[in-house]
């Protein structure tokens, strides 16, 4: 060890020094990232929960976390079949137990068969367990009325977020006016703005039309694109369907128009379809971008690049905590696809429990299997549209994004506090009622409009008083500042 | 939908077009990433496995994946207690089963108690379940002879890789000659080179001394640093202890010298200590950087910034597939720590099964608990030093990194094929014996030396013939090219 003699004393003499890593010296792109779904509101909710536990008196007895679409946290019970199979995979001694149905055992055995050392504790291939990729392909094919899907185009991931960031990462290039621009909806799910900020790409906003139930209009896409072309190179278009936080479900005509637009304008399409199983409004139906693209025929079906994302966190299963998902790529340059594979391999593999549950989600038990009735039970659950303060019908996803009017004095007060007006409203709401929702400013909204996002997942007996409390608070807040 | 009339025909007339995303237009940083542990060798191994399944005749009957430290894939059985608790967490109906020990049930109940909706399917806090962070802090405190650890400085992660990339991401800043430089050992675990390439930071190589059993020499750190200062701004120093792929265990004196060096030179320390439970050579002992730092007293203990990483993938448990880990940060600027928290929240939370297993790893059952004997069984397993072709003693971790001599004509032949000489050797080894190891060029090595990394995890009855085959192949290869 060639330590410099006297080094120790020298260091001591120098006295307290600057840290290596400070707000001034850290990655500026990271500093620009914002993520409202888990921002200051949620940190304050955590503190309030702690205070309640310590016996501090509040005007409420519990914090209701309506800020995030987390089905299990809201009391939804996991699907028995999923959990039986997962328990069998985790602890194969249970394969000898008479308490588990035969189809669950068969399923667990087939998953373990595909694992290194027959254990969920071994790494899988970086793109996921091969038979599960095949099951995902079969699922997509069934969903899309027989249009084929290639397992080699399917990459399993740590939730959809992981795959979305990986694809964005591939797309980001250039400097200055040649920087990659990515079109995203406003309001958006803030993963997009956060990832683009971190990757130093240009966020190009297109606005959804609140007056037409948050519809997507191609004229607005064109406006956004033209305006962006002056200062960046737009290369990708992100669609969230069903919408988050806006809950709209796109029509087939709309999807066709978007695909034609992307094709003409040379944009890589990213379709965030994680809420595809959460469509419940009368007359609304989910159409996958892949299916519409393929049915449009050449040149679209043979040339238009598309990545479609799905997740086990939503739908009827709501297994957020297991972090499972996948991306299917269509018409991607094979050399780029290899690069994507490489990027995924650096992080070794997606968590195996999430992969196992994805396997069950994409190939649920057949009607003849003993578990079928139990498995279907929760999928028949009916969600109610939320009577918001001023709110579009919720066609899909699991959120309501109501618009709220705020009195000018409240807006003024918020400005004095250095807060967005709807953040001010949401913080006050949390303090006084324990209800945790996310301000619309975290998702983006038209200048001068204010919203919040809340999940519609709480059980009926909780949702009703929650909505009443919220309405009462809004009335009180409005009185206070008028 | 304001689709442009005639847009369709226009597009069709344009005929086949360039893809949006090609090797030329994609993120150049991503293209530069290399990751040998899962590179072409592993892809070829996958193909060979498929060919074997299809009945293609090969000079071997199975592919042996010695390329990666994956205990379960190599036949190690999971720890029963870990898997019992995880099964109980996944499927709480089992809490009523008489087949599970009481301590496993108590543990599962306490983990579920801390989960949203008492389900592993709910998101946790982004930095991990609070009681588990507390257990990690208690574990570190016990490991470090009572030196306190603060749960608020502990962030759970999706394996150690996730946390390492997050910390590197914070550190990366600047342009041109002011770009962040990060010192990493050569040979290294290629996550570091991959992440630095992706983040467009400067990789600063310091060489471990093969002639002194891969020891780290501060004089070499100083040489690397001085040389780097001309073209970048070195801001962090990464240490892998015990070493991967090199298997050395650092002495306490060495660690002190490294800390003094980092302090004097204003470097953020990153200690990759994922093999801390894999130390088995006579006379070798693991010392954590945190403990040594604290015992050195001020100004080191109060000012030196440190991040230490650990994982559930290694050690006696080897639960790679569950993707669990943590980072402890010491003396980090609180404002930067908030930024780190924010970054983690964008990806929502680490997988819950990995968090649950981490809880058991950091607080194993007490000797009085019924499961203790079973739990300890595997930890007593003894590893043997591998008689390599020319190989340093393996003090820790789970790899051997033998040096191989290659005849000049083989080196010539490799060059003609556009391959690194040791890549050529490893590919031939795989084709002729089915043994999959990683060439040293993927980890870095001194110019003109050649190595490969193989895991020493295969069971004794498999390891011996594997080593014999390898030696025979090397002899044959040498004859063929001399």
Q: Domain end: B362, B392, B415, which one?
A: B362
Separation of alpha carbons A216 and A479, rounded Å: 35
- Is A390 found in the same domain as A346? no
Q: Domain end: A331, A362, A393, which one?
A: A362
- Is A355 found in the same domain as A396? no
Residues forming beta bridges with residue A181, ordered by sequence position: A202, A234
Separation of alpha carbons A373 and B440, rounded Å: 55
pLDDT score of A227: 95
pLDDT score of B460: 62
Best of B20, B169, B320, B462 to disrupt the A interface (most A CBs within 10 Å) is: B20
Residue predicted with more confidence, B468 or A229 = A229
Given an 8 Å threshold on Cβ–Cβ distance, is A191 in contact with B267?
no
- Is B121 found in the same domain as B270? yes
Instruction: Please give the C-alpha separations between residue B201 and each of A336, B166, B197, in angstroms, as whole numbers.
Output: 22, 14, 6
Best of A85, A119, A159, A223 to disrupt the B interface (most B CBs within 10 Å) is: A119
DSSP string, A104-133: HHHHHHHHHHTSGGG-TTS---TT--HHHH
Given an 8 Å threshold on Cβ–Cβ distance, is B83 in contact with A94?
no
Domain that holds residue B462: 29-74+384-480
Of B3, B17, B331, the CB nearest to A218: B3
pLDDT score of B210: 84
Please report the ipTM that was assigned to this predicted complex. 0.81
* B263, B298 Cβ separation under 8 angstroms: no
Q: Which DSSP helix (H) or strand (E) runs through A263?
A: helix A252-264
Cα angle for residues B334, B338, B344 (degrees, 5° grid): 140
Identify the sign of the CA torsion B362, B368, B371, B375: positive
Of B94, B159, B335, the CB nearest to A23: B335
Residue A212 token pair:
């037409």
Cα angle for residues B205, B211, B212 (degrees, 5° grid): 90
Pairing between β-strand B452-455 and β-strand B399-400 as defined by DSSP bridges: antiparallel
3-state secondary structure of A235: strand
Separation of alpha carbons A221 and A205, rounded Å: 9
3-state secondary structure of A400: strand
Separation of alpha carbons A459 and A277, rounded Å: 19
Chain B residues within an 8 Å CB radius of A238: none
- Is B225 found in the same domain as B152? yes
In a domain, B468, yes or no: yes
Q: What are phi and psi of B426, to 5 degrees?
A: -70, -35
pLDDT score of A459: 62
Question: B245 Cβ partners below 8 Å, 6+ apart?
Answer: B187, B189, B397, B399, B401, B438, B440, B443, B451, B453
Pairing between β-strand B306-311 and β-strand B399-400 as defined by DSSP bridges: unpaired
Average pLDDT over residues B97-116: 91
Given an 8 Å threshold on Cβ–Cβ distance, is B219 in contact with A342?
no
Residue B70 pLDDT class (50, 70, 90 cuts): confident
Residue B300 token pair:
């080191």
Cα B181 from chain centroid?
Answer: 21
CB atoms within 10 A of CB A331: 19
pLDDT score of B255: 96
pLDDT score of B458: 64
How many angstroms separate the CA of residue B55 from the nearest CA in chain A? Answer: 19
Given an 8 Å threshold on Cβ–Cβ distance, is A267 in contact with B119?
no
* Residue B5 predicted with pLDDT over 60: no
Burial A33-70 (b: 16+ CB within 10 A, else e): bebbbbbebbebbeebeeebeeeeeeeeeebbbbbbbb
Q: Domain end: B312, B329, B362, which one?
A: B362
Residue A393 token pair:
């019908």
Given an 8 Å threshold on Cβ–Cβ distance, is A222 in contact with B323?
no
In a domain, B213, yes or no: yes
3-state secondary structure of A306: strand
How many angstroms separate the CA of residue A468 from the nearest CA in chain B? Answer: 23
Residue A176 token pair:
């200055």
Highest mean pLDDT among B31-40, B224-233, B384-393: B224-233
Query: Domain holding A451: CATH number?
Result: 3.90.1150.10
CB pairs under 8 A between A and B: 367
Q: B41-60, pLDDT tens digit by residue?
A: 777 888 888 888 889 998 88
* Residue B12 predicted with pLDDT over 50: no
Q: Which residue of A has its CA nearest to B23?
A: A336
Given an 8 Å threshold on Cβ–Cβ distance, is A86 in contact with B83?
no
In a domain, A207, yes or no: yes
Of A126, A194, A218, the CB nearest to B38: A126
Instruction: Please give the C-alpha separations between residue A456 and each of A102, A247, A379, A464, in angstroms, as whole numbers.
Output: 36, 11, 16, 10
* A420, A443 Cβ separation under 8 angstroms: no
Q: A274-318, pLDDT tens digit by residue?
A: 988 887 777 888 999 999 999 999 999 999 999 999 998 887 788
- Is A292 found in the same domain as A145? yes
* Residue A377 predicted with pLDDT over 60: no
pLDDT score of B331: 95
Here the contacts of A99-105 (C-beta below 8 Å, separation 24 or greater) are: A99/B97, A101/A369, A101/A370, A101/A371, A102/A370, A103/A365, A103/A369, A103/A370, A103/A371, A104/A371
Given an 8 Å threshold on Cβ–Cβ distance, is B86 in contact with A83?
no
* Residue A25 predicted with pLDDT over 50: yes
In a domain, A103, yes or no: no
Pairing between β-strand B435-436 and β-strand A202-207 as defined by DSSP bridges: unpaired
Q: What is the 3-state secondary structure (H, E, C) of chain B?
A: CCCCCCHHHHHHHHCCCCCCCCCCCCCHHHHHCCCHHHCHHHHHHHHHHHHHHCCCCCCCCCCEECCCCCCCCCCCCCCHHHHHHHHHHHCHHHHHCCCCCHHHHHHHHHHHHCCHHHCCCCCCCCCCCHHHHHHHHHHHHHHCCCCCCCHHHEEEECHHHHHHHHHHHHHCCCCHHHCEEEEEEECCCCHHHHHHHHCCCEEEEEECEHHHCCECCHHHHHHHHHHHHCCCEEEEEEEECCCCCCCCCCCHHHHHHHHHHHHHCCCEEEEECCCCCCECCCCCCCCCHHHHHHHCCCCHHHHCCEEEEEECCCCCCCCHHHCCEEEEEECCCHHHHHHHHHHHHHCCCCCHHHHHHHHHHHCCCCCCCCCHHHHHHHHHCCCCCCCCCCCCCCCECCEECCECCCCHHHHHHHHHCCCCHHHHHHHHHHHHHCEECEEHHHCCCCCCCCEEEEECCCCHHHHHHHHHHHHHHHHHHHHHCC
In a domain, B324, yes or no: yes
Pairing between β-strand A438-439 and β-strand A325-330 as defined by DSSP bridges: unpaired
Q: Which of B141, B120, B194, B164 is nearest to B326 (CA)?
A: B164
In a domain, A9, yes or no: no
Average pLDDT over residues B91-118: 91
Q: What one-character DSSP code corresponds to residue A432?
A: H
In total, how many domains does chain B have? 2
Q: What is the mean pLDDT of chain A?
A: 84
- Is B245 found in the same domain as B120? yes
Of A35, A74, A87, the CB nearest to B90: A87
* A154, A328 Cβ separation under 8 angstroms: yes
Query: Range with the lowest mean pLDDT among A127-136, A230-239, A435-444, B322-331?
Result: A435-444
In a domain, B2, yes or no: no
Q: B340-368, pLDDT tens digit by residue?
A: 888 888 888 899 998 888 888 888 766 54
Residue predicted with more confidence, B382 or A329 = A329
- Is B447 found in the same domain as B298? no
* A13, A404 Cβ separation under 8 angstroms: no
Query: Domain holding A187: CATH number?
Result: 3.40.640.10
Residue A176 pLDDT class (50, 70, 90 cuts): confident
- Is B357 found in the same domain as B317? yes
Residues forming beta bridges with residue A160, ordered by sequence position: none
Highest mean pLDDT among A457-461, B282-286, B447-451: B447-451
Cα angle for residues B472, B248, B376 (degrees, 5° grid): 95
pLDDT score of B37: 66
Given an 8 Å threshold on Cβ–Cβ distance, is B121 in contact with A323?
no
Given an 8 Å threshold on Cβ–Cβ distance, is B346 in contact with A123?
no
How many angstroms separate the CA of residue B24 from the nearest CA in chain A? Answer: 10
Chain A residues within an 8 Å CB radius of B351: 158, 321-323, 351, 353-354
Q: What are phi and psi of B186, to 5 degrees?
A: -125, 120
* Residue A15 predicted with pLDDT over 60: no
pLDDT score of A44: 81
CB atoms within 10 A of CB A430: 21
- Is B314 found in the same domain as B198? yes
Given an 8 Å threshold on Cβ–Cβ distance, is B7 in contact with A260?
yes
- Is A234 found in the same domain as A164? yes
Residues forming beta bridges with residue A352, ordered by sequence position: none
Q: Is A9 exposed, middle or buried (0-12, 13-18, 19+ CB in 10 A)?
A: exposed
Residues forming beta bridges with residue B270, ordered by sequence position: B238, B307
Instruction: Please give the C-alpha separations between residue B479 and each of B31, B297, B404, B432, B437, in angstroms, as whole numbers.
Output: 38, 58, 14, 15, 21
- Is B150 found in the same domain as B221? yes
In a domain, B23, yes or no: no
Q: What one-character DSSP code corresponds to residue A147?
A: -
Given an 8 Å threshold on Cβ–Cβ distance, is A217 in contact with B8?
no
Separation of alpha carbons A144 and A332, rounded Å: 19
Residue A384 pLDDT class (50, 70, 90 cuts): very low
- Is A355 found in the same domain as A389? no
Separation of alpha carbons A386 and A388, rounded Å: 6
Given an 8 Å threshold on Cβ–Cβ distance, is B115 in contact with A266?
no
Pairing between β-strand A268-272 and β-strand A233-240 as defined by DSSP bridges: parallel
Query: Range with the lowest mean pLDDT among A7-11, A287-291, B254-258, B464-468?
Result: A7-11
Neighbouring C-alpha atoms within 13 Å toward the C-beta of B285: 7
Query: Range with the lowest mean pLDDT among A252-261, B417-426, B466-475?
Result: B466-475
Average pLDDT over residues B136-150: 94
How many angstroms separate the CA of residue A481 from the nearest CA in chain B? Answer: 32
Residue predicted with more confidence, B27 or B150 = B150
Q: Which residue of A has its CA nearest to B1?
A: A217
Q: What is the mean pLDDT of chain B?
A: 84
Q: What one-character DSSP code corresponds to residue A365?
A: P
Q: A87-106, pLDDT tens digit by residue?
A: 999 999 999 999 899 989 99
Separation of alpha carbons B320 and B354, rounded Å: 9
């Amino acid at each position: 060890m060639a330590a410099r003699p006297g080094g120790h004393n020298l260091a001591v003499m120098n006295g307290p020094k600057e840290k290596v890593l400070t707000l001034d010296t850290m990655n500026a792109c990271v500093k620009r990232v914002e993520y409202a779904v888990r921002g200051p509101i949620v940190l304050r909710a955590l503190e309030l929960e702690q205070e309640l536990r310590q016996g501090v008196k509040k005007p409420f007895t519990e914090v209701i976390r309506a800020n995030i679409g987390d089905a299990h946290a809201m009391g939804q019970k996991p699907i028995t079949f999923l959990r039986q199979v997962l328990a069998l995979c985790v602890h194969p001694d249970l394969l000898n137990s008479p308490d588990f149905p035969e189809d669950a055992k068969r399923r667990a055995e087939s998953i373990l068969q595909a694992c290194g050392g027959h254990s969920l504790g071994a790494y899988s291939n970086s793109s996921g367990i091969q038979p599960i990729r095949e099951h995902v392909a079969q699922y997509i094919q069934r969903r899309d009325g027989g249009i084929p899907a290639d397992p080699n185009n399917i990459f399993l991931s740590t939730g959809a977020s992981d795959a979305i960031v990986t694809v964005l990462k591939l797309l980001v290039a250039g400097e200055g006016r040649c920087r990659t621009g990515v079109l995203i909806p406003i309001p958006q799910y803030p993963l997009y703005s956060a990832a683009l900020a971190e990757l130093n790409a240009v966020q190009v906003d297109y606005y959804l039309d609140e007056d037409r139930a948050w519809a997507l209009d191609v004229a607005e896409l064109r406006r956004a694109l033209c305006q962006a072309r002056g200062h960046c190179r737009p290369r990708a278009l992100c669609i969230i369907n069903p919408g988050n936080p806006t809950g709209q479900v796109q029509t087939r005509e709309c999807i066709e128009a978007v695909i034609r637009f992307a094709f003409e304008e040379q944009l890589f399409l990213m379709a965030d379809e994680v809420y595809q199983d959460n469509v419940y409004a009368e007359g609304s139906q989910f159409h996958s971008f892949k299916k519409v693209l393929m049915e449009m025929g050449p040149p679209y079906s043979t040339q238009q690049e598309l990545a479609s994302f799905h997740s086990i966190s939503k739908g009827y299963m709501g297994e957020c905590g297991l972090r499972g998902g996948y991306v299917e790529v269509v018409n991607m340059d094979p050399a780029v696809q290899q690069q994507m594979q490489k990027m995924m391999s650096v992080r070794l593999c997606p968590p195996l429990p999430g992969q196992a549950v994805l396997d069950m989600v994409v190939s649920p038990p057949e009607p003849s299997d003993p578990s079928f009735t139990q498995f279907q039970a929760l999928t028949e659950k009916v969600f109610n549209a939320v009577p918001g303060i001023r709110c579009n019908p919720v066609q899909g996803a699991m959120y309501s994004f109501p618009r709220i009017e705020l009195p000018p004095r409240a807006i003024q007060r918020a400005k004095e506090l250095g807060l967005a007006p709807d953040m001010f409203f949401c913080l006050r709401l949390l303090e006084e009622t324990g209800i945790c929702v996310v301000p619309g400013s975290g998702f983006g909204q038209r200048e001068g409009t204010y919203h919040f996002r809340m999940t519609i997942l709480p059980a009926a007996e909780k949702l009703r008083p929650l909505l009443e409390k919220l309405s009462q608070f809004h009335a009180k807040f409005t009185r206070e500042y008028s």
